[in-house]
Amino acid sequence: METKIIVDSCYDFNDSMLDPDIEYTRVPFSILIDDNEIIDENINTTWLIDKMQMTKNRIGTACPPPEAFFKAIDPEKNNYIVTISSKLSGSYNSAMAAKQLAEEKGFGDRVFVFDSLSAACGENLVGIKIAEMLHKGLTPEEIVPIIRDFIHGMTTFFILNSMDNLVKNGRIKPGVALVGKLLKISPIMMGVNGEIELKEKVRGKKKSFKRLAQIVADEVDSSKDRIFAITHVNARETAEALKSQLEELTDFKKIVIFESGGLSTVYADRGGIVVAY
């Protein structure tokens, strides 16, 4: 049976990492700024950042409704749905509701939903892993447990220039962001069971990226068998510099850089970097 991979719009951009033999559908979030609802489809992120900086109000996001995921499902194919962490958004719940609708229509056994427990390039890695398993000729019954184990073994780190939007939307505690501002600390954040927690405090942005590379080198197991992914928000040079540091310290099979979409841009903001492996 043919296959389709369905993702929400926290799945970031690098067309070279999309498998040409698989159909992909990206189901968009909505971004809410002042009185404007912006659909997260092919957004110019520079324009979005400018719009974010101009508002004094809370910037909101709305996950896709179940109907949007259901519409993306092809009843004639195996559908693998990957979402941002359920601890950060209702997207996973919407996808599960879409699966329930598919079950009521008689094709729910062809819908497989994964909570990435991550965001940005972490979600991308899950999609890449699904494609890899499909090329090996594995069945859905074989793929599902492999992908769930992969998700639980994945590590995600964040270094952000600003955590204001994460604070405003309740994704991290205000005290963490305040410490960074007052002491010029550049915190290294990490995903823990799908939530964002502080990994380490580092003074200065350059030192924080150097320290992140060292943490990855010290903590990664079997890097030669892994892909290391970087999402950046208008920070290509920073992403390339981090890639170079990691190439000196590790032997990842591949290091891939992704451009942020709208949702990643809202939460990581200008200059933000998210990594996963």
Residue where a domain stops, chosen among 104, 130, 152: 152
Residues 73 and 179 placed together within one structural domain of the fold? no
Residues 45 and 169 placed together within one structural domain of the fold? no
Residue where a domain stops, chosen among 115, 132, 152: 152
Residues 17 and 76 placed together within one structural domain of the fold? yes
CA distance 206 to 141: 45
Domain enclosing residue 90, as ranges = 3-152
CA distance 123 to 11: 6
Contact 277, 154 (CB under 8 A): yes
Residue where a domain stops, chosen among 152, 181, 201: 152
Residues 17 and 53 placed together within one structural domain of the fold? yes
Residues 135 and 240 placed together within one structural domain of the fold? no
Q: What is the DSSP letter of 178?
A: H
Number of domains observed in the structure of the chain: 2
What is the CATH classification number for the domain harbouring 269? 3.30.1180.10
Per DSSP (E only), the strands in 49-187 are: 60-62, 78-83, 111-115, 156-159
pTM of the model: 0.93
Residues 174 and 113 placed together within one structural domain of the fold? no
Per-residue pLDDT of the chain (277 residues; tens, 9 = 90+): 799 999 999 999 999 999 999 999 999 999 999 999 999 999 999 999 999 999 988 899 999 999 999 999 999 999 999 999 999 999 999 999 999 999 999 999 999 999 999 999 999 999 999 999 999 999 999 999 999 999 999 999 999 987 777 766 666 666 655 555 555 788 999 999 999 999 999 999 899 999 999 999 999 998 999 999 999 999 999 999 999 999 999 999 999 999 999 999 999 999 999 999 9
